Structure 1
Amino acid sequence: MGLVIIFSLVTLLALYGVVRSLREKNILALLFGLGTVAVFGWFTVMTVLHNGFPTSTV
């Protein structure tokens, strides 16, 4: 289930980029960040719904 972890990390980093681009008033970065959040956020949600949360192997 490493895919869920990678997707969620990319989504979180994109959210940080969106906030940063809002502070700097960078419209192009805001558009790309929102697109990334939308796509990877959707993949994260759908992967969790389809496969469940990652389980611990310990």
Structure 2
Amino acid sequence: MFLSIILLIVALISAVAIIREVRRKNFFAVGFAGISFVVFGWFSIATIISILTTGGGAPTGH
């Protein structure tokens, strides 16, 4: 659960960076912040869903 919280915090910081860099018109940084937001947001949501449905972290395959 700790990992998913950290990933979610990073995704939220990336969302703030997107807004800040759009105001500065630095679209190269917007691209990197956007990719970071999507990747970290996806993995945080997927980890939270995995924890809620399986009762643990990643599936063990057994």
TM interval, short-chain normalised: 0.7 to 0.9
Q: Which runs of 4+ in 1 moved over 2 A?
A: none
| Equivalent residue number for residue 17 of structure 1 | 17
Q: Which has the higher contact order (CA 8 A, sep 6+)?
A: 1
Q: Secondary structure at the match of 2:8?
A: helix
Pairwise CA distance, 1:5: 0.9
**Between the two proteins, what is the percent identity of the paired residues?**
35
The answer for the alignment partner of 1:51 in structure 2 is: 51
Provide the alpha-carbon RMSD of the alignment: 0.6
SS at match of 1:12: helix
Q: What TM-score do the two structures reach when normalised by structure 2?
A: 0.80
Say how many residue pairs are matched: 52
Report the Cα offset of residue 16 of structure 1: 0.4
Q: Which residue of 1 aligns with 2:36?
A: 36
What are the ranges of 5 or more consecutive residues in structure 1 without an aligned counterpart? 53-58
Aligned partner of 1:44: which letter? S
Separation in 2, partners of 1:46, 1:23 = 31
In the superposition, the TM-score normalised over structure 1's length comes to: 0.85
